[in-house]
Structure 1
Amino acid sequence: MRKTARYASLAVSGLLALSSLTACANDAASSSSGAGSKGDGKGTKVKIMVGGLDKVIYMPAILTQRLGYFDSEGLDVELLSEPAGVQAETALVSGQVQGAVGFYDHTLDLQTKGKSVESVVQFSHAPGEVEVVSTQKAGDITSPKDFKGRKLGITGLGSSTDFLTKYLAVKNGVKVSEFTPVAVGAGPTFISAMQKGAIDAGMTTDPTVATLLDKKAGKLLLDMRTPEGSQQALGGPYPSSSLYMQTDWVNGHKDTVQKLVNAFVKTLKWMSTHSPSEIAAKMPADYSQGDKTLYAQAIKSTLPMFTKDGVMPANGPETVEKVLKAFNPNIKNAKVDLSKTYTTEFVDAAK
């Protein structure tokens, strides 16, 4: 346990240090204009923190920028990146940024903590997450029932991968106290942790999944990249990646929020009419890590999770609440007003 805890602490510290440097570099390069104000002539300035810019589940963020849709709406959007969605959430509630691209489930969790945050455009109707078991442990871990006594990789404590891992365990008869969550981020740090035996299994997304399978370092245990996979694992549609913002800021900057939603809805429609290879070609070159074919395959595997119009899926919020109530005592014992966790006002206007 001590070694695991130490590893998790070191992994998180390293990732936070790296992401902080990245954020500082981005801040230094940007103008010092206030959020929601006119900056250097590029348009209305907005900062958005993404829980991993290179993750395919959050692809609409960088893709909207690459397609020029922010610019066409008169916005100067600065995209910042943190390795886990929970850190994007922290940046939002502390006022460092005006929006966060992360999982919708954070809006419910924050409401129980007295924070009013809402999703303004829903990118997905499935988690896009995959539970991968290391090749060495594949014979011993064949379902979440086998999580007991295992070290399970997540992006960060309090992240959506943490939430979903706990739910899958509890649903399959394993108590939260009977396994060890290990914060290992995503990408190279997740892959290294699995190869070195620091984790037995873990929850991650593409392109990490595609790389793990290509290296034969891991095998699929549960695939929640499609609505069907979400239904099977979680019992319904699971709205995950979204743009969420503090409600007070939304109400005070409706014109800016509408422009953001317009841009994202355009991107979701564009994604639904273009091939994985065409989408991959629009992304930053380094996202493919030297293997364009594998990267296009990662996009293809994850595309089914995305909505085509940014609309919250029917019964999606209820599924999320059910999942969180299964293990989260704050939500289990609280009355959550789901109507305040998302709004369709801006998506309806965009359509």
Structure 2
Amino acid sequence: MIKRILAPVLAVVLLLSACQAKPGERSEGGQLTIGVGGQPLLVYLPTTLAQRLGYYEDEGLNVTLEDLQGGSKALQALQGGSVDVVSGYYDHAIQMAAKDRDVQSFVSMLRYPSLVIAVSPKASKPIESIADLAGANVGVTAPGSSTDFFLKYLLGKEGLPADSATVQAVGGDSSAVAAMEQGRVDAAVMLDPAFSLLQQRVGADEVQVLTDTRTAEGVQEDFGVSTYPAAVLYSTGQWLENNDDNARKLAKAIVRTLEWIDQHSAEEIAAEMPEEYAQGNRDVYVESIAKVKEAYSKDGTLEADGAEAVREVLAQFIPEVERADIDVSTTFSNDYLPSETS
């Protein structure tokens, strides 16, 4: 009797296992999943906006967006095969290259990282500079994410150990605002719209900013370059090899979106986005988009000198990157972009 019951159950399990896609396999019928390292964050806005504008569908793609807390979670999902592509920071392609893992960016969305380090109005100690973060509790979207990398890099610039501040995962949206507002962290690496919402809630004068990379000036001051590759679409080399056509279609949809962003106002962009992303304050959301708008790439390209700058930054606090002989040209490609761009 038990054998008769278990036999059909086992058959179903085996069938489902056979049907489940393996990492790197071809995405049949244009169906694919993009893992996003915090979907409401403005740094990843083009990924969602492309779907809202119907540009994925125009390319014959059936795209599912999976919202994940932080870039490290999205990278884990890619490695585990639960997503095909990641909308995350280019940092992770360099990080994986140091581990001899083939991960490549194939369209760039953000040319300024747009990260802000701000001090909580209820910080447990005086914090006037990056050096004062030593011994502080600092919020990041998730440990191992690009917000965490940014903090460690700036601590290193001050001659401090990368672990001289205690990091705490606070996410990137309302949870980060709450952590700062309530003093659960002394400072945080924040992104818009959360940062602008915090300023609106407690008063801009009450939020001290230690550094701001939403502008070219901020990027030059922190990284010494005019542009610094940030949010991109990336995947494994195997997936790109097996999905050349799908990757080109994705890149085309994103480039069309970047062009649309460049040609429309912050108000018009906000009108296309999910209402809940404004977190109940549309005016602040529109203002946030206006502040970050210039940070979006114009054409999806990623420059070699920017890629090398990222490698140099990560090498300062990740021993694996420092020791590895990384050819940055293997970590990104502009070949998937529309021909008029690439």
* TM-score higher than 0.5: yes
Superposed displacement of residue 348, structure 1: 5.0
Alignment of 1:302-341 (within 5 A): 302-341=292-331
Given residue 280 of structure 1, which amino acid in structure 2 is its aligned partner? A
RMSD: 1.8
- The 2-side partners of 1:92 and 1:224 are apart by 27
Report whether the alignment pairs 1:230 with 2:230: no
Supply the AA of the counterpart residue of 2:176: F
Once the two structures are TM-superposed, the CA of residue 321 in structure 1 deviates from its matched residue by: 0.8
Q: Find the residue that maps to 1:153 and give its secondary structure.
A: strand
Alpha-carbon distance between aligned partners in 2 of 1:350 and 1:83, rounded to the nearest angstrom: 35
Runs of 4+ in structure 1 off by over 6 angstroms are 31-34
Could you tell me which residue of structure 2 aligns to residue 9 of structure 1? none
Which residue number in structure 2 is paired with residue 261 of structure 1?
Answer: 251
Answer yes or no: is the 8 Å Cα contact 2:106–2:251 preserved in 1: yes
**2:174 equivalent to 1:172:** no
Deviations 1:232-279 (A, max 9, x none): 112112101000011111111111111110100000000011100000
Alignment partners' CA distance in 1, 2:122 and 2:179: 13
Count of residues paired in the alignment: 316
Alpha-carbon contact 1:258-1:350 (below 8 Å) kept? no
Alignment of 1:210-225 (within 5 A): 210-216=196-202, 218-225=207-214
Checking the alignment, whether the CA contact within 8 Å between 1:265 and 1:350 is kept in structure 2 is no
Deviations 1:121-151 (A, max 9, x none): 0111110111111123498222212111111
Name which of 71, 78, 81 aligns with 1:95. Answer: 81
Q: Distance in 2 between matches of 1:299 and 1:280?
A: 8
The answer as to whether partners of 1:262 and 1:350 remain within 8 angstroms in 2 is no
Q: Does 1:48 align with 2:34?
A: yes
Aligned equivalents of 1:181, 1:328: Cα separation in 2? 16
Q: 1:75 maps to which residue?
A: 61
Contact 2:122-2:182 at 8 Å conserved across structures: no
Bigger CA radius of gyration: 2
Query: Deviations for 1:146-196, whole angstroms, at most 9, x for unmatched residues?
Result: 111111111111100010100001101221232211111122221222223
Q: Counterparts of 1:1-351 in structure 2 under 5 Å?
A: 36-38=27-29, 44-137=30-123, 140-216=126-202, 218-236=207-225, 237-347=227-337, 349=339, 351=341
Return the alpha-carbon distance in structure 2 between the equivalents of residues 81 and 211 of structure 1.
Answer: 20
Check conservation: 2:46, 2:257, Cα contact below 8 A: yes
TM-score (ref. length: structure 1): 0.86
C-alpha distance in 2 between matches for 1:219 and 1:205: 15
Is this contact kept in 2: 1:125–1:313, CA < 8 A? no
Moved more, 189-198 or 275-284: 189-198
Whether the 8 Å contact between 1:35 and 1:46 is mirrored in structure 2 is no
Q: Distance in 2 between matches of 1:138 and 1:59?
A: 34
Contact 1:125 1:307 in 2 (8 A): yes
The DSSP-based 3-state class of the residue aligned with 2:34 is strand
CA contact (8 A) 1:50 1:80 kept: yes
Shift of 1:290: 2.2
CA distance in 1, matches of 2:163, 2:26: 42
Partners of 1:185 and 1:350 lie apart in 2 by 38
TM-score normalised to structure 2 length: 0.88
Query: CA 1:348–1:227 in structure 2 vs 1: closer, same or farther (change >3 Å)?
Result: farther
Q: Is the CA contact (8 Å cut-off) linking 1:117 and 1:247 kept in structure 2?
A: yes
Could you tell me how far apart the structure 1 residues matched to 2:40 and 2:340 are? Answer: 26
**SS at structure 1 position matched to 2:336:** helix
How far 1:342 moved relative to its partner? 0.1
> Match of 1:225, as an amino acid?
R
Partners of 1:35 and 1:45 within 8 A in 2: no
SS of equivalent residue, structure 1 residue 126: coil
Structure 1: how far apart are the matches of 2:212 and 2:274?
26
Asked if structure 2 preserves the Cα contact closer than 8 Å seen for 1:167 and 1:326, the reply is yes
One-letter identity of the residue aligned with 2:271: A
User: Partners in 2 of 1:32 and 1:280 — Cα distance?
Assistant: 36
Give the Cα–Cα distance (whole angstroms) in 2 for the partners of residues 241 and 307 of structure 1. Answer: 10
| Native 8 Å contact 1:99 1:243 kept in 2 | yes
Gaps in structure 1 of 5+ consecutive residues: 1-30, 39-43
